[in-house]
Structure 1
Amino acid sequence: MTETVEVASAVKRDAAEPMIVDLRQQIDEVDAEIIRLVLMRTNLSKQMCTARQIAGSPKFTYSDELAMLARYRVLGESGTELGLLLLRRERRTLAPS
């Protein structure tokens, strides 16, 4: 009986390995897409700040930032933290040298 259970467990492990490899690859692809989108967002934010400066407006508007954070709240507390990290990253990128 013990041998049957051990064999069944080994077969399940062997079947799970390809799934694990595939899931890891999918997660890596999602991570790469997130990085691409964060860089795109930063670039768009730079363009927005430039356009605002040309228009004589402030670089940042708190109402836009608060609206963005509200959208990220759908992810819960960690979503708000993620939104704040993005805003902080953009402010650092856009800060005068």
Structure 2
Amino acid sequence: MAATGEATGTMEATGTSESSGGEASAGGTLAKAREQGYITIGFANEAPYGFADSSGEVTGEAPEVAKAIFAELGIPEVQGVVTTFGSLIPGLQAGRFDV
């Protein structure tokens, strides 16, 4: 599946390596997510792409696509964190989400 290969490449690109001293250095972000059974993803608060609905559940195009891709990668749960677009990179660097 092309989507699975692309997602794996994305995970490899966003995972930390041993040389970076990151928390996920033992096996990378993908291995950590598989082990714990979930991955935390930051989504910019932009409807219809990714947003929190009236009940607070993260929904939209990007979260639904992420759920399908990560399920194929053996990660059954996606935990979404809605933030502003400008907070995505700082949030990733601060460890608020995995990707």
Verify same fold: TM over 0.5.
Answer: no
With normalisation by structure 2, the TM-score equals 0.29
| Structure with more of its chain in helix, by fraction | 1
| Structure with more of its chain in strand, by fraction | 2
Which structure has more RCO (C-alpha within 8 Å, separation ≥ 6)?
2
With normalisation by structure 1, the TM-score equals 0.30
